[in-house]
A = this chain, B = another copy of it.
Amino acid sequence: MQAVLLTGGEIDNMAGLLTMRERQAFSLWATRQVLTMLDDNPIFEALDRDLVQRCPLPLDRSVAIAGPEGELGIRVLAFPVPGKVPLYLEKQAGGDLAGSAEGSIGLEISAGGKTIHYVPGCASLTPGIRTRINRSDLLFFDGTLWNDDEMIAAGTGQKTGRRMGHMSISGPEGSIALLGDLEIGRKIFIHVNNSNPVLLAHSPQRAELNRAGWDIAADGMEIDL
């Protein structure tokens, strides 16, 4: 492994770093805002800075993260996505739940003439994001919830998807509908919450999703482009 990229400052995004402290050397890329969150938590000094270089990931500008530059290397461009501030900073942030531009990002990853897009959390689909992901060879997209209120309906939570910074898969304002007219080679939902019925292989929701040309990511999945 040569590089780790963080797409946000939620615990889900960052806590895994704490298991990577056995003197592995790698580059750690994140926006300046997320790097500041790491800096503000001394526990992440577990990643020895002599081995793990913390690299600011710019927005809307491509950087080489691994391998030689050019066709054989991997280049990454981070782009802002509507999201919200991490839950554990909400009290501190007060009412400003929309967060700043760098709070959530998507990644455009290019190598060998192919380009994939990775968007694990997206509160709404802006024209800029639509343009960015159109003609992608492979899109990984926020599949947290099927319905905005499914956690409330299931009694497993008190928050809507919108409140958590996630658009839903279904409905007229859902990702299946709003991404349906784009030309995308392959479309895979990620970050699927345990309340989401698409996780059940034989659910009607899974069938609907598959008919719309989408798949669900699975552990150990390998994809050839």
Instruction: Tell me, in angstroms, the Cα distance from A67 to B37 when the chains sit together.
Output: 38
A196 nearest CB across to chain B (Å): 17
How many Å from the CB of A43 to the closest CB on chain B? 5
The contact of A42 among B40, B45, B46, by CB within 8 Å, is: B40
The chain B residue with its CB closest to the CB of A19 is B15
Cβ-based interface call for A131 (8 A): no
The complex is assembled from copies of this chain, and their number is 2
Main secondary structure of the interface of A (DSSP, over half): helix
Contact B14 A43 (CB under 8 A): yes
Of B14, B18, B37, B40, the contact of A11 (CB 8 Å cutoff) = B18
A92 to B15, alpha carbons, bound, how many Å? 22
B21 touching A18, Cβ below 8 Å: no
Which A residues from 163 to 211 make CB contacts under 8 A with B?
none
Interface 1/0s, chain A 37-51, versus B by CB < 8 A? 100111111100000
List, sorted by A's number, 28 A–B pairs whose CB atoms are closer than 8 Å. Answer: A11-B18, A11-B21, A11-B43, A11-B46, A14-B43, A15-B15, A15-B18, A15-B43, A21-B87, A21-B88, A37-B42, A37-B43, A40-B41, A40-B42, A41-B41, A41-B42, A41-B43, A42-B88, A42-B89, A42-B92, A43-B43, A44-B88, A45-B88, A45-B89, A45-B91, A45-B92, A46-B87, A46-B88
Instruction: Give the B-binding residues of A (Cβ under 8 A).
Output: 11, 14-15, 18, 21, 37, 40-46, 87-89, 91-92
